[in-house]
């Protein structure tokens, strides 16, 4: 079997923030707008994002996964530019996307993500809802879930909910009979030390994964490089996080980066190699490290 390459980037927080009307900045958006104008606009840069995407496309991955936070305040005016950017990344056949908490920032526009990017998260089969979706690409079975829910000001938690967890359990049960490399896409990490940013039903998700298993879990949200291992049905599962795709290095956060995962059969087992590529101080994208995960 020929090796298959999956690229993963997350949290582009597409800059710049469009002009906002005062009436759109009530409640939680007011806090987010102040944070953007005082801080975040300094280190989320479009030139960084464009350089990272150009390098990623030059690697010619077979598929690209984007794990949320395409927009910032979920303003109506943000979704059209975000869709244009995503179309520049690739076609729905070659790109899969899930929402992050910023894509469902407030209740008024919480459903705009699915409406705007539906072609990029449409599964292979008709289901009762958009999540979890299943997309088969080469040897991969890409399973996308949504942890994006509106929250109170200063909160950035995520929740899957019982219905989605039960559907995921059924879906993974059906996949267990297939010879596929199962990749779970989720925005929030499965463990967080910050109560305000955690996945509230991580324990329930981990129980499903312990019973059913997957081969790889990809997430964003924390804006850092991270690798952890959790218990699966018959082996440990690597859980990989990636920095914001538009970020300059600042404070405790690294500069923008993305991951490449090369997947191939090695006898009766899967082999997966992770390559990390990121922006350096000269605004050049280079390989940071390479490691065999499986």
* Per-residue pLDDT band at 268 (split at 50, 70, 90): confident
Q: Is 271 exposed, middle or buried (0-12, 13-18, 19+ CB in 10 A)?
A: middle
pLDDT, tens only, 197-215: 999 999 999 999 999 999 9
- Other CB atoms within a 10 A radius of the CB of residue 224 amount to 15
Mean confidence (pLDDT) of the chain: 95
- Other CB atoms within a 10 A radius of the CB of residue 275 amount to 17
Q: How many residues does the chain have?
A: 294
Domain boundaries, the chain: 4-17+26-292
Cis peptide before 132 (omega within 30 of 0): yes
* CA separation for the pair 259, 274 (Å, rounded): 7
pLDDT, tens only, 132-162: 999 999 999 999 999 999 999 999 999 999 9
Q: Taken in order 193, 260, 141, 9, is the CA torsion positive or negative?
A: positive
Q: Report the helix count and the strand count for the chain, using DSSP H and E.
A: 7, 12
pLDDT at 253 exceeding the cut of 80: yes
Q: How far is the CA of 256 from the CAs of 14, 247, 250, in angstroms? A: 13, 5, 11
Q: Could you tell me the pTM of the whole model? A: 0.97
Nearest to 5 by CA among 278, 287, 274, 263: 263
Fold (CATH) for 4-17+26-292: Purple Acid Phosphatase; chain A, domain 2 (3.60.21)
Q: Is 13 helix (H, G, I), strand (E, B) or coil?
A: coil
Q: Who's near 271: CB < 8 A, 6+ residues apart?
A: 263, 264, 265, 292, 294
pLDDT at 52 exceeding the cut of 90: yes
* Per-residue pLDDT band at 82 (split at 50, 70, 90): very high
pLDDT at 128 exceeding the cut of 70: no
């Amino acid at each position: 079997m020929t090796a298959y390459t999956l690229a993963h980037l997350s949290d582009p927080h597409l800059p710049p923030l469009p002009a906002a009307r005062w009436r759109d900045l009530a409640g939680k958006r007011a806090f987010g707008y102040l944070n953007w104008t005082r801080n975040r606009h300094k280190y989320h840069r479009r030139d960084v994002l464009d350089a990272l995407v150009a390098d990623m496309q030059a690697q010619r991955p077979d598929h690209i996964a984007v794990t949320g936070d395409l927009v910032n305040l979920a303003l109506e005016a943000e979704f059209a530019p975000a869709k244009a950017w995503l179309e520049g990344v690739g076609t729905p056949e070659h790109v899969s996307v899930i929402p992050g908490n910023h894509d469902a920032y407030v209740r008024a526009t919480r459903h705009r993500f699915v409406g705007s990017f539906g072609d990029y998260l449409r599964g292979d089969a008709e289901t009762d809802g958009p999540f979890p979706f299943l997309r088969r690409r080469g040897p991969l079975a890409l399973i996308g879930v949504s942890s994006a829910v509106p929250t109170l000001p200063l909160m950035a938690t995520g929740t899957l909910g019982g219905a989605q967890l039960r559907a995921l359990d059924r879906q993974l049960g059906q996949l267990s009979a297939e010879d596929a490399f199962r990749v779970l896409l989720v925005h929030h990490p499965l463990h967080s030390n910050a109560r305000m940013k955690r996945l509230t039903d991580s324990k329930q998700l981990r129980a499903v994964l312990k019973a059913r298993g997957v081969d790889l879990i990809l997430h964003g949200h924390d804006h850092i490089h991270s690798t952890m291992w959790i218990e699966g049905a018959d082996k440990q599962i690597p859980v990989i996080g990636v920095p914001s795709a538009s970020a300059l290095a600042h404070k405790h956060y690294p500069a923008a980066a993305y991951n490449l995962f090369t997947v191939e059969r090695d006898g009766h087992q899967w082999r997966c190699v992770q390559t990390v590529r990121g922006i350096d101080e000269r605004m050049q994208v280079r390989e940071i490290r390479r490691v065999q995960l499986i």
